[in-house]
Amino acid sequence: MKLHIHFMLMAALVFFLFEPASAQRTRSTWDPSSSLVVGVGGGVTKYFGEFTDQNFGGVGQVYVKYIIIPEIGIQLDGGLGKYVFNRRIKEKFKGNYFRQFHRDPVFEGATSINDPAAWKESLKSNDLSYAEFRVLVNMFPRTYFNPYLSGGIGYFRYVNKDENTTVEINGKKVPLLEVNLGGKPFDVVDPANTNNVMGSGYSNLPDDANTNLIVPVSLGFDILFNELYSLNLDFTYRFIFGDGRDYMDGFGREVLENFLTIDTRDKIHEDEAPDYWGTATISFQVYLFGSKDSDSDGLSDRTERDIGTDPYNADSDGDGLIDGDEVEIYRTDPLRPDTDEDHLKDSEEVAKKTDPLKPDTDDDTLFDGDEFARGTDPFNKDTDADGLWDGDEVHKYGSDPLKKDSDGDSLNDYEEVNTYHTDPGKADTDADGIPDNEELARKTDPKNSDTDDDGLTDGDEVNKYNTDPLNNDTDGDGLTDGVEIKQVGTNPTQRDTDGDGIMDGDDKCPTKPETLNGFDDNDGCPDSRPLTEKPIKKGQKIVLDGVVFESGKATLKPESESVLDQAYETLVNYPKMVVEIGGHSDNVGRRSFNKRLSEARAQAVKDYLVAKGIDPSRLKVYGYGPDRPIATNRTEEGRAKNRRIEFKILKVE
């Protein structure tokens, strides 16, 4: 019984050893349904009975399987082989070993268990044959490693060589024990005198006792190399039924245990402890007729597994074409919904009659899917017949492949690209405010926003300033139109903007007319005569005659501006000059009031000059009041002279 358990444990161990490999080998599912499997192989046999030991026999087998559904199959198998065992028992006799059917020393048998003849006599190698029908239950039938269980029924025939035992005496084989099954008598013959019958016996087994019903149960493994060939490992244990179920070893346990005391030991016996046997085989299998098409897509499951598609999904990639049509008719990839990657499913291309194997059917550098999305014709390189390919219009020029004049500038896209080199996607290529076609009519450059390079765009010249976009100095005054507009502020269509008779290009003050006062009358600028025409020296005092204020206030009267402007011109002409602006008064009234008033009036003069642009750091203010008169205060005329603003030159350089 222990070896029975060892045999089954060995089978279970193989299962667990191979199971991880199955996970690695499994690439996809498959359906072995309707497959006819033919297998040829061999292995070892193992006898289990009263004399169970470590000896193994050999066996060869052939079989045919039919897979009804992936999980269920049937099998017919048969085989020929030998089973081997050593007929010794060591159970109730401690250190003594006994041999079944050992020959008495009278018949030149072994005298003891240690006699070498005992080993020769006890080792048995008997023939067997079998035929079986099994039902298979596949555990993982859709993978490349499939453990299975099976059970069935069959017949088993064996030949126990004790039935016809001979002994060789003087070179001649002499029958020692002639056993006849079926209850027929047999004799034990004297080897020295074959006519001398030493004893008689009979078999209590029927004629067919060596042909028995068997029930095989097994654990096995199918290891697929591919869907045509596989390796099979099978571990089968067989139960024996019938009158000869304990006859594989020729003797039953009951007789063995009482062998020395049973006087009918020359008979063949059996008892209630039947024998068993098993096989461990390895076979090569071939799968035939496995061309099932589970999803009815026109491809066999085997073919689908070979190419990687799903044998249970007629449209593996979901593109609207069944896998068989993709492979056999359209030559598209059944694993990719868009074989040519043109943004159209293969089924859409078939329906629209574009080439599903070519992303750009008309070779215009636009994918077919993009053409349908844009509304262009995937069979016509130039949908709008403007002379430009659709792909170039989209990718290169940015124009509309559905319009001959994409930007609406009355120029054909082809002309813009190849003749005028303008942008067919922009009505105003240079963005100067004039459409390309108008520029061509005006003869301005549609690619240059400032054709005459005067600093003004052609559009501004035409639409805003009314200047000539082909002439950078429209009025010919020596100033470019852009300078007149942006820098000087003169009119680019008038030579003398301020009308002083001096052209703007020669006029230092082109927006202000010249003051004809005999002083620099040709520079074009308004001016006044300077405070003094003599060279100005440090310490020099200059009275600003004509600067007058409101009575008792520091508010300048308007008539003072002409004199102050002369002072301004002097300061401009002497940019490093620093002056003190002194305020003076007469002696009428309180002295303190006059000092404050004179200083306030000096500050008013400074404020005027600073407002004109003179740096305030060049102007110092001081109020002297009545302290420095230049005339008598006794007369009105004298007091008027004392009420004055006086420049004192502090620095000239």
629: domain CATH number is: 3.30.1330.60
Beta bridge partners of 153: 133
Q: Residue 624 in contact with residue 651, Cβ under 8 Å?
A: no
The answer to whether position 645 is within a domain reads yes
CATH number at residue 282: 2.40.160.20
Distance CA 85, CA 87 (A): 6
Closest CA to 40 of 291, 234, 213: 234
Q: Which two tokens stand for residue 358?
A: 């070519």
Boundary residue ending a domain (229, 256, 288)? 288
pLDDT at site 100: 42
What are the E-state strand segments in 25-107? Answer: 36-48, 57-69, 72-86, 88-89, 98-99
Closest CA to 252 of 273, 270, 264, 277: 270
Distance CA 462, CA 398 (A): 29
Q: Residue 149 in contact with residue 216, Cβ under 8 Å?
A: no
pLDDT at site 118: 55
The answer to whether position 644 is within a domain reads yes
Beta bridge partners of 339: none
pLDDT at site 295: 84
The answer to whether position 71 is within a domain reads yes
pLDDT at site 9: 45
What are the E-state strand segments in 254-338? Answer: 276-288
Q: How far apart, in Å, are the Cα atoms of 628 and each of 16, 606, 624, 644?
A: 128, 20, 7, 11
Distance CA 320, CA 310 (A): 15
pLDDT at site 266: 43
The answer to whether position 308 is within a domain reads no
Distance CA 282, CA 289 (A): 23
Helix locations, 79-176, DSSP H: 116-122
Q: Look at the alpha carbons of 322, 327, 328, 331 in this order and tell me if their dihedral is positive or negative.
A: positive
Under DSSP, the state recorded for 631 is S
The answer to whether position 634 is within a domain reads yes
The answer to whether position 525 is within a domain reads no
pLDDT at site 95: 36
Q: Show contacts of 369-376: CB within 8 Å, 24+ apart.
A: 369/338, 369/342, 369/343, 369/344, 370/342, 370/343, 370/394, 372/344, 373/343, 374/401, 374/402, 375/402, 376/401, 376/402
The answer to whether position 73 is within a domain reads yes
pLDDT at site 65: 95
Beta bridge partners of 133: 76, 153
Count Cβ neighbours within 10 Å for each residue of 225-251 and write b for 16 or more, e otherwise. eebeebebbbbbbbbbebbbbbbbbbb
Distance CA 190, CA 105 (A): 12
Name the residue range of residue 270's domain: 2-161+204-288
Closest CA to 521 of 535, 500, 505: 500
pLDDT at site 260: 38
The CA R_g of the chain, rounded to the nearest whole Å, is: 64
pLDDT at site 273: 66
pLDDT at site 536: 84
Task: Please count the structural domains in the chain.
Answer: 2
Residues of the chain with pLDDT under 70: 1-31, 50-52, 87-122, 160-209, 244, 249-273, 290-291, 514-524, 526-534
Boundary residue ending a domain (288, 305, 339)? 288
- Residues listed for the chain: 653
Pairing mode, if any, of strands 619-625 and 578-584?
Answer: parallel
The answer to whether position 34 is within a domain reads yes
pLDDT at site 304: 82
pLDDT at site 236: 98
Distance CA 431, CA 458 (A): 10
Using alpha carbons only, give the angle 559, 565, 570 rounded to the nearest 5 degrees: 145
Boundary residue ending a domain (253, 288, 323)? 288
